[in-house]
C-alpha cells in the first residue's frame, strides 16, 4: 500500500534501519540520505530490480543485475491502448510510437515477424480462423518483449489484451504496463466512423473518407476498405468489446485513463501523450518538505494550513517564527527586536538561525514541513540550501495585481473585539461595527504594490534556483488550488521527458 506523507517519517526510518533496540535510540537519519534516495529514484530502482529477478529467475543473479542496471530501461514507455472498433486506437498508438521512439505491437505485427517459427505457426492459424488462441498470442508477445529494442525503447500494445484471460496470462509473465489508455465514444458514432475507414496497404496508415482524406492522388488511388466494417459486423464487434472490457479493466487498477474519442484526433493524441508522460505515485517512503512561494495575498498561509491539517505536516510561517522569538525574549529574539522596532528587514543569517532551530526539531524531521515566508530571493535560497534545508516540493502561486488589491485593501479589523473581516468576502454583521473598523497601514494599495514589485523582482531568479518548482494559478477557488498542490505533493516529480514544442504536431499532421 502506498504510504501518505503523514505517516512516512517513522516508516521511512524503519525501512532503512528496521526495528531499533530501545537502548540504542534515538537514531537520527541524516537528511542527505532520503534526499539522495528521492533524487536518484533509489527505491523505485531497487523495486524494479527485485521484480525482474523474481520474474526472470536467472541462474546467476549478479550478472543479470549488472546487465539490467546498465540498460537503464526502467522508465521506458510501457503502454496499453484499448478501445472499441473505429475509436482510433491504432492511429493514436502509431503517433505515440513515433513521438516516443517506442515499439508498436499489435496482433498483426506479432504474426508478421520474420525468422520466428512461432510467428509462422500463428500466421497459419490466423489465416484459417482469423483469430489466435490466447496462449499462442501471449507466447508471441513474450518472445517479442524479450528482444533488445523492446527492452531499450519500451513498447505500446495496440488492442492487446482483448479478453480478461489474455490480461491474466500477460500478468503471469510479469508484463506490467505503466499506463493504460481506453478510448471511448458512442456506438452510433463508431459505426458511422467505421464505414468510412480506408487503409494504405503500403504504409499501414489509416484514413477516412469524411474526416481524414489524403490530399495526394497517388495515396487516394491505393487506399482499400478493410474487412469487417459493415454496420452489422461493427455492431457485433462492439457488443463483444463491451462484454470483454468490463472484465479487463479491473486488472489495471489506478493506471487507467479514459479519453473521449469523439473529438479531433489531435486532441486525443495530446491528452494521451500528457498522460503517458506522467509518473505514478511511488511506494517509496517519503517525508514532504514543501515550500510555498508567492506575493503577499496569494494564499500561502491558507494552503499551508490545509496541508498541515490533512497530512500532519508542520506549518512553518517564517514571519510568525520571528515574532515568537521576540516575544519569548530568546537570544535570537533580542537580536531581531531592533529590526522590528525600526521596521527594517531582519538579516538573512539571523532568520536562518531561528528557522534552522525549528526545522531541526523532531516533529519537522519525522512528519515533514510546509514553509512559507522564506526564502524571498536567490541569496536566501542559497543560504538555506547550503545549511542542508532543501525542500523537495516547491510551488509558486501566481495571482494578478488586481485580485490581490481586492483581497487585501478591503481587509479590516474590529478594534473592540480584535476580529478581522473583509468588506466583500466577510462583511461586518452591523453598520455599527462597520463604522469602527480600522485598516492596517500594510493593507494600503501603495504598500501592497511595493511588496508585490519586490516579490516579482526576485521571483525569476528564485524560480531559476528551484528548477523543479511547479507554478500554479492562485487566482481561483482556494480548494481548487489545494487540489493541485496536493497532487504535486503526493505524486513523484516528473522525469525529464521530451514534450511537444509550441508548433510541433503529431506525425502526419500539418498546421
Q: How does pLDDT run along the chain (511 residues), one tens digit per residue?
A: 334 444 444 444 444 334 444 455 455 666 667 777 777 777 778 877 887 787 678 899 898 888 878 776 667 899 999 999 888 899 899 999 999 999 999 988 888 887 778 888 888 887 787 788 888 888 888 888 888 888 888 899 999 999 999 999 988 887 889 899 999 999 888 888 888 788 888 887 888 777 778 888 888 888 888 877 778 888 888 899 999 999 999 999 888 999 999 888 889 999 999 899 887 766 667 789 999 999 988 889 999 999 999 999 999 999 999 999 999 988 998 999 999 888 888 999 999 999 999 998 888 888 899 999 999 999 999 999 999 899 989 999 998 888 888 888 888 888 888 888 888 888 888 888 888 888 888 888 888 888 888 888 888 899 999 988 999 998 888 889 999 898 888 876 655 444 433 334 444 444 3
Assess whether 203 and 296 both reside in one domain. Answer: no
- What are 426's strand-pairing partners? 422
Whether 130 is in a domain gets the answer yes
Examine the domain organization and report whether 256 and 311 are in the same domain: no
Residue (of 445, 447, 452) closest to 399 by Cα position? 452
Q: Which residue has the cell 473521449?
A: 260
Task: Specify if 363 maps to a domain.
Answer: no
Verify that 306 and 430 share a domain, yes or no: yes
Question: Residue 245: its pLDDT value, please?
Answer: 92
Give the three cell numbers for residue 45. Answer: 530502482
Domain shared by 214 and 260, yes or no: yes
What's the pLDDT score for residue 126? 79
- 259 plus 296 within the same structural domain: no
Q: How many domains does the chain have?
A: 2
Residue 103 counted as domain residue: yes
Of the candidates 277, 304, 337, which is a domain's last residue?
277
Q: Is residue 258 within a helix (H) or strand (E), and if so which, with residue range? A: strand 256-260
Assess whether 217 and 271 both reside in one domain: yes
Give a yes or no: residue 337 inside a domain. no
- 295 and 221 belong to one structural domain: no
- Tell me, yes or no, if the pTM score tops 0.75: no
pLDDT at 2: 38
Q: pLDDT value at position 391?
A: 93
Q: Is residue 506 part of a domain?
A: no
Domain CATH code at residue 390 = 3.40.50.300
Residues 238 and 109 in one domain: yes
Q: Does some domain include residue 377?
A: yes
**Nearest C-alpha neighbor of 5 from the set 318, 280, 290:** 290
Residues 111 and 233 in one domain: yes
Q: Is the dihedral of CA 291, 293, 296, 302 positive or negative?
A: negative
Residue 225 has what DSSP assignment?
P
Cβ–Cβ < 8 Å for 262, 185: yes
Cβ atoms of 370 and 288 closer than 8 Å: yes
Asked if residue 163 and residue 234 are part of one domain, the reply reads yes
Domain that holds residue 175: 77-277
> Would you say residue 136 lies in a domain?
yes
203 shares its domain with 309: no
Task: Look at the alpha carbons of 129, 133, 136, 140 in this order and tell me if their dihedral is positive or negative.
Answer: positive
Question: What is the per-residue pLDDT for 19?
Answer: 43
Instruction: Round to whole Å and give the CA distance between 341 and 334.
Output: 11
What DSSP state is assigned to residue 426?
A: B
Residue 327 domain-assigned?
Answer: no
Bond preceding residue 401 cis, omega within 30 of 0: no
Q: Domain check: are 202 and 118 in the same one?
A: yes
Amino acid at each position: 500500500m502506498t504510504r501518505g506523507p503523514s505517516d512516512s517519517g517513522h516508516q521511512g526510518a524503519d525501512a532503512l534501519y528496521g526495528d531499533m533496540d530501545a537502548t540504542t535510540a534515538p537514531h537520527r537519519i541524516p537528511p542527505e540520505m532520503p534526499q539522495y534516495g528521492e533524487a536518484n529514484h533509489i527505491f523505485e530502482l531497487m523495486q524494479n530490480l527485485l521484480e525482474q529477478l523474481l520474474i526472470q529467475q536467472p541462474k546467476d543473479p549478479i550478472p543479470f543485475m549488472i546487465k539490467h542496471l546498465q540498460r537503464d530501461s526502467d522508465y521506458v514507455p510501457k503502454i496499453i491502448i484499448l478501445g472499441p472498433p473505429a475509436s482510433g486506437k491504432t492511429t493514436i498508438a502509431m503517433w505515440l510510437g513515433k513521438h516516443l521512439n517506442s515499439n508498436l505491437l499489435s496482433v498483426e505485427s506479432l504474426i508478421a515477424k520474420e525468422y520466428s517459427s512461432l510467428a509462422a505457426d500463428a500466421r497459419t492459424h490466423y489465416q484459417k480462423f482469423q483469430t489466435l488462441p490466447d496462449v499462442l498470442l501471449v507466447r508471441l508477445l513474450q518472445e517479442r518483449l524479450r528482444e533488445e529494442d523492446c527492452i531499450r525503447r519500451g513498447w505500446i500494445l495496440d488492442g492487446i489484451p482483448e479478453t480478461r484471460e489474455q490480461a491474466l496470462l500477460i500478468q503471469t509473465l510479469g508484463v506490467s504496463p505503466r499506463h493504460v489508455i481506453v478510448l471511448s465514444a458512442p456506438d452510433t458514432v463508431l459505426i458511422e466512423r467505421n464505414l468510412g475507414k480506408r487503409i494504405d496497404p503500403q504504409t499501414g496508415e489509416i484514413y477516412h473518407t469524411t474526416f481524414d482524406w489524403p490530399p495526394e492522388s497517388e495515396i487516394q488511388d491505393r487506399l482499400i476498405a478493410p474487412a469487417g466494417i459493415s454496420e452489422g459486423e461493427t455492431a457485433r464487434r462492439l457488443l463483444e468489446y463491451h462484454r470483454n472490457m468490463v472484465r479487463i479493466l479491473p486488472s489495471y487498477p489506478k493506471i487507467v485513463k479514459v479519453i473521449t474519442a469523439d473529438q479531433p484526433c489531435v486532441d486525443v493524441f495530446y491528452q494521451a501523450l500528457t498522460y503517458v508522460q506522467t509518473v505514478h505515485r511511488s511506494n517509496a517512503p517519503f517525508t514532504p518538505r514543501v515550500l510555498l512561494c508567492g506575493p503577499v495575498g496569494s494564499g500561502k498561509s491558507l494552503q499551508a494550513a490545509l496541508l498541515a491539517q490533512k497530512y500532519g505536516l508542520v506549518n512553518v510561517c517564517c514571519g510568525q517564527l520571528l515574532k515568537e522569538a521576540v516575544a519569548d525574549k530568546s537570544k535570537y529574539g533580542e537580536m531581531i527586536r531592533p529590526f522590528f522596532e525600526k521596521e527594517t528587514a531582519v538579516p538573512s543569517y539571523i532568520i536562518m538561525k531561528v528557522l534552522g532551530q525549528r526545522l531541526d526539531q523532531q516533529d519537522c524531521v519525522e512528519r515533514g514541513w510546509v514553509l512559507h515566508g522564506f526564502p524571498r530571493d536567490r541569496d536566501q535560497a542559497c543560504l538555506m540550501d547550503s545549511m542542508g534545508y532543501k525542500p523537495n516540493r516547491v510551488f509558486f502561486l501566481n495571482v494578478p495585481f488586481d485580485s490581490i488589491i481586492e483581497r487585501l485593501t478591503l481587509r479590516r479589523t474590529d478594534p473592540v473585539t480584535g476580529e478581522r473581516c473583509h468588506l466583500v468576502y466577510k462583511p461586518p454583521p452591523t453598520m455599527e461595527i462597520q463604522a469602527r473598523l480600522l485598516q492596517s497601514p500594510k493593507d494600503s494599495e501603495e504598500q501592497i504594490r511595493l511588496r508585490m514589485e519586490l516579490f516579482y523582482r526576485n521571483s525569476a531568479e528564485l524560480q531559476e534556483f528551484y528548477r523543479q518548482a511547479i507554478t500554479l494559478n492562485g487566482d481561483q477557488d482556494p480548494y481548487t488550488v489545494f487540489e493541485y498542490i496536493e497532487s504535486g505533493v503526493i505524486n513523484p516529480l516528473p522525469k525529464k521527458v521530451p514534450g511537444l514544442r509550441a508548433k510541433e504536431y503529431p506525425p502526419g499532421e500539418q498546421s
